[in-house]
Chains A and B, each alone.
Chain A
Amino acid sequence: MTQFSLKASRVQPASWWLLGIASAIVAGLNINPVMLLVQIAILVTIILLAREYAPWSQSLKFYLALASFVVAVRVIFRIVFNLPDDSSPIALSLPQLSLNLGFGGNITLLGNLSSSSLVSATSDGLRLAAIIISIGLANTLANPRKLLKSTPAALYEIATAISVAINLAPQLIESLQRVRRASSLRGRSKGLGALAGTIVPVLEDTIDSSLSLAASMDSRGFGRRGFLTKKQIISLRLISLCSVVLTSVGVFLLLVATGSQLIALLLLAAGFLGILLTVRTTSKNSIRTRHKKETWLLQDYVVATAAIAAVTASLLGWQT
């Protein structure tokens, strides 16, 4: 167990998500198409090296296809809904059309496309592609069930509901097919009208059995909570209110004022810390313990450090 390994299952899912989000931020701040291509290449290499066989790890192709689609859409948009620009050399010359939708001004279609326009469309598209593949990395490498288990206690109930839903889904597909077949015996399996006849029996059965699951969970202690004093509860609510207000103001400032991005980012950071604090304190309300300790191993620290270093470097680069 202690041996260093970067295989998907040997690294905490939280670390993969940290890396994914960090990489998305780096990509978001990057406008150099060559650097973006390099980043995409690195991401794909990590996925290919680290991935192991698992149901969630097979979606790399999907993310690559989606990323190429986004790049293509950006470029095609630029070509079709072109804004003629005479300041740089023309890369593509097409006949210009004009379209009136009945409101606003005319929309120009096609026409002379400048090379700078083409380059900026491509690099915009590549930036989004890199963001998509970054999230794809996290999703391909992190085991969602393990991640659900390590959610903070404040979100334990919701994580449980999600894992209940994931477990139920295949059963539901089976019951839907079974009931559809059964309702054909009553002559109603066709068309939208049969929908209620299919959904209701399935829902009745599933609600019954999941309530008995709930009964078994509750009988074994699910739902116990620790004790927070009234004062603690009120201060908790105030912290969460403040952090949300800070965040809202931060969002607003980020959008309106010129030159105030730094203040806005600081406000957002304060709001971020507030939200973390709330979630942490709320989690203390829970008395739940864990049988298996999730320990961070060397590989986790390596992945996390890489993620933080990348973000810091690109923030510094962006400021200068």
Chain B
Amino acid sequence: MTKSWLSRITITFAGLASLLMFTWPLLIQTPTPNEANLAQTVFIGLMPLILLMVLAEFATGGIGAKQLALLGVLTALNAVVRLLGAGTAGIETAFFIIVIGAYVFGSGFGFILGSTSLLVSALLTGGIGPWLPFQMMAAGLVGLGAGALPKIRASGRTQIRRREIILLSGYGVVSAFAYGALMTLWNWPFLAGTGSSISYLPGAPIFENLNRFIAYEVLTGGLLWDLGRAITTTALVTLTAPALLATLRRAASRAGIEKLEA
């Protein structure tokens, strides 16, 4: 199921707008602290709306009962696995199922799976807050990207299967770091505020802010956290992909489940 080109442009714009809402501190030289502050507040309200919009765009007419059932299963599994892995620093188990599920069932499915996974996991742990729509969007983008990966599948030859797994675990590393960078960028002005030597400085040149951001990442241990996430994601993808891909593909072919692309 592929969306019309109008839909695709809409989704692209929505994606760009949301990326801007993450990366503005490093992309745009805002004039005053007051404006930065206003922007941050407005975005907290805007992100959920954009997210709703994209989800509605993906869901309209596209999701049948079967895809929905799989979405429910993978979301629940993700939330549960995340619940069990929670509390151990640097272990992030949310991504391997998103990556593998999106690769099998398409980019549209991946976006929805990414965002519902984080939502359900927040509902189960009571972790709902202003950061949630941002996490949902970032995880949705991770799923979207995984669904758009080139398909190297043919017969069950081991070499092809191995290449497929290398592709997925490579994407696991990249996406884990990208997700980490996006979320740290979001919480940087949020947590560190302004007015300290490693916090966001409105009006400063972009290079200056980049330096401060990297210092923030290093000094708060965010980078270590990202590294942990990347390692666990890759390890989990490598370990479980052969079995999970087979299981999901078997389910897809047995029940005649179509892909949901963007």
Contacts and interface: CB of A to CB of B under 8 A. Distances in A.
A touches B (Cβ under 8 A): yes
Q: Tell me the interface secondary structure of chain B in the complex.
A: helix
Interface stretch (B3-11, B154-162, B177-185): B3-11
Nearest to A80: B196
Nearest to B132: A135
A193 B242 CA distance: 12
A169 interface: yes
Given A166-B123, A251-B43, A218 B211 contact: no
A86 to B, nearest CB: 15
Contacts of B38: 29, 254, 261
Interface stretch (A8-16, A37-45, A155-163, A299-307): A155-163
B152 interface: no
A206 interface: yes
A132 B44 CA distance: 11
Contacts of B239: 192-193, 195-196
B79 A165 contact: yes
B215 A165 contact: no
A279 B129 contact: no
A179 interface: no
Contacts of A255: 20, 24, 28, 30, 35, 39
A193 B240 CA distance: 9
Contact of A172 (B53, B80, B116, B214): B80
A176 B240 CA distance: 15
B174 interface: no
Contacts of B37: 28
Contacts of B120: 162, 165-166, 169
A124 B61 CA distance: 44
B193 A247 contact: no
22 contacts: A28-B40, A78-B196, A81-B198, A81-B219, A161-B63, A161-B72, A162-B116, A193-B239, A203-B77, A213-B69, A214-B69, A223-B65, A237-B7, A237-B10, A241-B10, A248-B16, A251-B20, A251-B43, A255-B39, A261-B35, A275-B53, A282-B56
